Structure 1
Amino acid sequence: MERLGKHRPLKMGRSGLSGLTTLRSFIVLGVTLMACLQGGCRAEQPWPLWESYARSAFDSQGRIVDHSAGDRTTSEGQAYGMFFALVANDRARFDKLVGWTQDNLAGGDLAARLPAWSWGKAPDGGWKALDQNPASDADLWMAYSLLEAGRLWHDPRYERLGTAMASRIAQREVALVSVGTTILPGPQGFHPDAATWILNPSYLPPSVLSYLATTFPRGPWGAVLASLPVVLTQGAGGGFAMDWVAAGGALSPMASTTEQRAGERSGPAAGSYDAIRVYLWLGIADPETPGVREALAGLAGMAAYMKRHATPPRRVDEAGAVVEADGPVGFSAAIIPYLHANNMKAEEKVQIDRMAAMKNPASGLYGADGLYYDQNLALFADGWLEQRFRFDRQGRLKVKWR
């Protein structure tokens, strides 16, 4: 396609064909620009990490495949994939992700049913939903991505679908617990008795919650956002975020069990693979987002640790003592925005350098094995570092291609 400034001056001969050709070029250009405004064009500068990840994990049907876990697919993976596709202005993959998720995780209707969290090969050899219980972190990111896709690509279908999902999350996954209104990890299994609720702090991304509070002011989202710093910090262990916390009276770290999410490692209370996302969500949020500054101040254990160590810990106990050091490359990616938010420039650079050193030039992914979870954490960090996306105070998405 010719650029606007490249057209030659209009020359009209006896037939006027030259002028007609130029006029047609302007018409084609206008139609093409309109299509781009409606989300029909790919980004001018492709996102290399997203393309590498898609080659590895995105199948032709539209599902994200976790090769490290028996080729299963989770609603989390689908939700993150939608967000990354939106950031990359990758409408084709976004559409496929939504279609596969709706058909296989939501019984054909995401507006009426929250997606099952796990899909894969069953003991009988069939491929199907393995656990119908939704996961609220995936539901939140999915609803958010649909709503913002509708806005940025001018597609009311996605706005309607995101609105329906947000309403269903509010009905099924929001609860009033001892410390306020918050998000349960799923509709079932997280309220074992009348006085106890089980919470996962990493299921509470402040940018998403601020967006929902602004978009749906009559919903419960403002109250959820108000309780955010309490949930993140009261349940912390020695200034570190925890994977799971119990809300009885006050909050306290709790052991992870296989009953919480099938396939998760059981063990004592700790901050590890779930909790690492708490630092990521706080770091990529606009610092003026309600609750972010308070949460950063209450989770200073990781900042203090990183002043003395080159790698983030893989696992800390409920007192903040390091049980396993040397977290994987995805952990380094996750804390880069957190270190930036704490004005720790030297420590931030160490983690950026570690990521660069651990990038596999053959696959374009991070780590020798290109593990699913590491890549998702890295995609959030990489997109943020390259300013492919930002959130404003209300959680609205600002993307490079706009």
Structure 2
Amino acid sequence: MSALLAAAAVLCSQPWPQLDRYVSTFVSQDGRVIERSAGDRTTSEGQAYALFFALAGGQRDLFARLLAWTERNLARGDLGTTLPAWNWGKRRDGSWGVVDVNSASDADLWIAYALLEAGRLWGEERYTALARRVLANVAAREVVSIRGLGPMLLPGPKGFATRGGFRLNPSYEPPQLLRRFAAEDPRGPWGAILESTIRMLRETAPRGAVADWVFFSPSRGFVSDPVKGRVGSYDAIRTYLWLGMLPESDGALRSLAPALLRAFAESGVVPERIDVESLRASGRAPVGFAAALLPLARAQRDGRTSDALAAAVAKAPADTYYDHNLVLFGHGFVEGRFRFAADGRLIPAWESPCAR
């Protein structure tokens, strides 16, 4: 057993220093996650991830502050009726507020998931009720039925449906979340979206590398995205992360995307970009990529690669907003801070101390 895996068994109920650093660096007292490398903007993604980490870390007060800021500033005061604007920051006139009212469906799913699980784990019915309303709004505004594919989540309500087909982002659809939603709302589209998502991964990553964006044409099926092409990089790294955090019962699904792990094992470097067809890799990825691959390496019981990735994370601490998020997800998962049940339920370490 690697040193990292051995440590997981004794970390379950201890403080989470990486989360504490994240909060002190990026989260304001009133609950705004500040992306300092991007003009101090705030995104719905940042708020959504922070809500999840607050729940996984058992920090109820932090969760409440994050939720209050999100609802007040991104959702016109009511998340139950308004999907959050994805971008809040300094506007051209110098004022601060919503810059782009379009919502981002991945953030919407993570917000709904955090609310749903907070309601269940903390016994807060108001969170459960709000989660259900957010999900209903997502289903109404961001889910479409695509001929030849079925129900699918668009990245947002506007800008992703074209005359020839639909732009899709595989990293926007974590299977864990879709399973949890399907259990909570069996009449909703979530189970069918999961089936479409699995098909998308299988058909667009035949060589084990996931693209940032893909395109589905009802007449041609899945093809390269006309805007971003066939590159896998800063979006796709999250897909490897979600797959790595699936339970053991999902062995076939977890094995769909081994390309980045192979590239790291061969070169000792996590590539920043990879062509999903030729597998030509380029660039040196930031530390967050190594952290995001940790769960997948562990799932494949590759102790040598796991230890090498963990060493890379330890040697170059995260300093950007996105890297911090990837480290909290990937490193936090292999440390045993949280895991996901087969039906998508969150199992935080604080719920059953040292159960791993």
Separation of aligned partners in 1, 2:303 and 2:150: 35
Per-residue deviation, residues 322-372 of structure 1 (Å, max 9, x unmatched): 35232110000001101112222211110001111113xxxxxx2xxx100
Alignment pair present for 1:73 and 2:31: no
Letter in 1 for 2:141: R
| Aligned equivalent of 1:96, options 52, 55, 65 | 65
Aligned to 2:14: 45
CA–CA distance in structure 2, aligned partners of residues 320 and 244 of structure 1: 16
Match of 1:394 in 2: 343
Select the residue among 217, 224, 230 that pairs with 1:253: 224
1:158 aligned residue: 127
Contact 2:213 2:229 in 1 (8 A): no
Q: Report how many aligned residue pairs link the two structures.
A: 337
Counterpart secondary structure, 1:285: coil
| Counterpart Cα distance in 1 of 2:193 and 2:289 | 27
Q: Secondary structure at the match of 1:251?
A: strand
Q: Which among 187, 203, 212 is matched to residue 157 of structure 2?
A: 187
Aligned position for 1:276:
237
Contact 1:184/1:198 (<8 A) preserved: yes
Cα shift readout 1:135-158 (whole Å, capped 9, x = no counterpart): 000000000000100111111110
- Separation in structure 2 between the aligned mates of residue 44 and residue 286 of structure 1, nearest angstrom: 21
Is the 8 Å Cα contact of residues 236 and 252 (structure 1) preserved in structure 2?
Answer: no
In the alignment, is residue 307 of structure 1 matched against residue 307 of structure 2?
Answer: no
Tell me whether 1:330 sits opposite 2:288 in the alignment. Answer: yes
Say whether the 8 Å CA contact 2:215–2:226 is kept in structure 1. Answer: no
Indicate the residue corresponding to 1:9 in structure 2: none
**Structure 1's 358 and 349: CA in aligned 2 closer, same or farther, altered over 3 A?**
same
Aligned to 2:190: 221
1:133 is aligned to 2:94: no
Gaps spanning 5+ residues in structure 2: where? 1-11, 352-356
Partners of 2:144 and 2:27 lie apart in 1 by 34
User: Which amino acid in 2 is paired with 1:319?
Assistant: E
Q: Over residues 10-51 of structure 1, what are the superposed CA-to-partner deviations in whole Å (9 max), with x where a residue is unaligned? A: xxxxxxxxxxxxxxxxxxxxxxxxxxxxxxxxx963210000
Gaps of 5+ in 1: 1-42, 257-266, 360-365
What is the CA deviation profile of residues 74-120 of structure 1, one whole-angstrom value per residue up to 9, with x for unaligned ones?
A: 00000000000001111111101100000100000000011000000
| Structure of higher RCO (CA pairs closer than 8 Å, 6+ residues apart) | 2
Asked if structure 1 preserves the Cα contact closer than 8 Å seen for 2:294 and 2:331, the reply is no
2:331 corresponds to which residue? 382
> Alignment identity in percent?
42
Structure 1: distance between partners of 2:281 and 2:92: 35
The 1:320/1:56 distance shift into structure 2, 3 A limit, reads farther
SS at match of 1:219: coil
Letter in 1 for 2:175: P
Partner SS state of residue 266, structure 2: coil
